[in-house]
Amino acid sequence: MFGYIRPMQGELKVCELERFKACYCGMCHALGKKYGLLARLTLNYELVFLAMLLWDGGEAPVIKRGRCVASPFCRKKYCARNEALDVCAGYGVILTWWKLKDTIADEPFLKALPQRFAKLALYGAYRKASREFAGFDGEVRKEMESLGRHEAMEEKSLDGAADKFARILSAAAPESLPEGTGRPMHELLYHLGRWIYILDACDDYEKDVRAGRYNPVAALHPPEGGKLPGDSALRLQTTLTHSNNLLCSAFELLPVSAWTTTVGNMVYLGMPQTCARVFKL
């Protein structure tokens, strides 16, 4: 769905990169086993990042080998299913469902036909996930409906729109976290959501302007020649860096886990690298 939260692979050790890839494949396995083959299409890097964050600090990943749907003739390493992977699989199905619903509401009927078919195909998986994670589904529903009203009014408040999406990711933090962990986890996920929403709007800026669609960044920073003005781009890079820094501060307060080094690579190196790519720096 997004794909912005990736590691800087060249800075990972070989064993760390292999484990990251195994976690990615493990998320795909969890999606398929719990919600069916089509649910695997909801896989993205953000889900893998969230699973590593929610991983039990005392639990080491168990690596297995198995055949992959995308590569059936090759046995690949993957993390065995556990609670973090299963929870994030459900969250991924729910988020994708509401994202499809939002896209369908924004686009003309014919243009949104692929999303309509995808939503119909995902219905069974969504129903199962929404029953299992009713609290998260309710929060996503509330904030997505609020975000939809905000965008329909073409508000010029970028922070207002980003706040609503940030609250969705913040709701992914478990309620039963150890003392001293809950607040930094909520803060990290909140600023991650804010960062993703603003960066996604910047990434889609020129495409949305050409199509005449509402874009929260374009509403606040009108285009010059169909492009984002240079001074506006600098201000947006500053606010994204600020969210990234706050996210990193929260990360430092979390307990150490098997994925701490990889997650640290993603927030300190991967996110700035993605930001530079979007702004073509």
User: In whole angstroms, what is the distance from residue 87 CA to residue 214 CA?
Assistant: 33
Interhelix angle 182-203/158-170, rounded to 10 degrees, is 130
Are 146 and 164 spatial neighbours (Cβ–Cβ below 8 Å)? yes
Whole-number pLDDT of residue 47:
94
pLDDT digits (tens, 9 = 90+) for 29-40: 999 999 998 999
Cα Rg of the chain (Å, integer):
19
- Owning domain of residue 40: 9-278
- Is residue 259 assigned to a domain? yes
Domain membership of residue 242 (yes or no) is yes
What's residue 73's pLDDT? Answer: 77
pLDDT score of 72: 75
In a domain, residue 1? The reply is no
Domain count, the chain: 1
- pLDDT recorded at residue 246: 97
Q: At what angle do helices 123-132 and 83-106 cross, to 10 degrees?
A: 130
Q: What is the CATH number of the domain that holds 227?
A: 1.10.600.10
Confirm if 234 and 221 have CB atoms less than 8 A apart.
Answer: no
The pLDDT, as a whole number, for residue 203 is 95
Spatial CA neighbour of 55 closest among 27, 77, 95, 97: 27
Q: Considering the domain boundaries, does residue 2 fall inside one? A: no
In a domain, 166, yes or no: yes
Q: Is residue 4 part of a domain?
A: no
Residue type present at position 247 = L
Confidence (pLDDT) at 75: 84
Residue 138 lies in a domain: yes
* pLDDT score recorded for residue 177: 77
Q: Which pTM was predicted?
A: 0.92
With a cut of 50, list the residues of the chain below it in pLDDT.
none
83 part of a folded domain: yes
Position 157, amino acid? S
DSSP for the chain, written as a single string: --------GGGS-HHHHHHHHHHHHHHHHHHHHHH-GGGGGG--HHHHHHHHHHS-TT-PPPEEEEE-SSSTTSEEEEEPP-HHHHHHHHHHHHHHHHHHHHHHHHS-TTTTHHHHHHHHHTHHHHHHHHHHTHHHHHHHHHHHHHHHHHHHTT---HHHHHHHHHHHHHTTS-SSPPTTTHHHHHHHHHHHHHHHHHHHHHHTHHHHHHHT---HHHHHS--BTTB--HHHHHHHHHHHHHHHHHHHHHHTTSPP-TTHHHHHHIIIIIHHHHHHHHTT-
Contact between 51 and 88 under an 8 Å Cβ cutoff? The reply is: yes
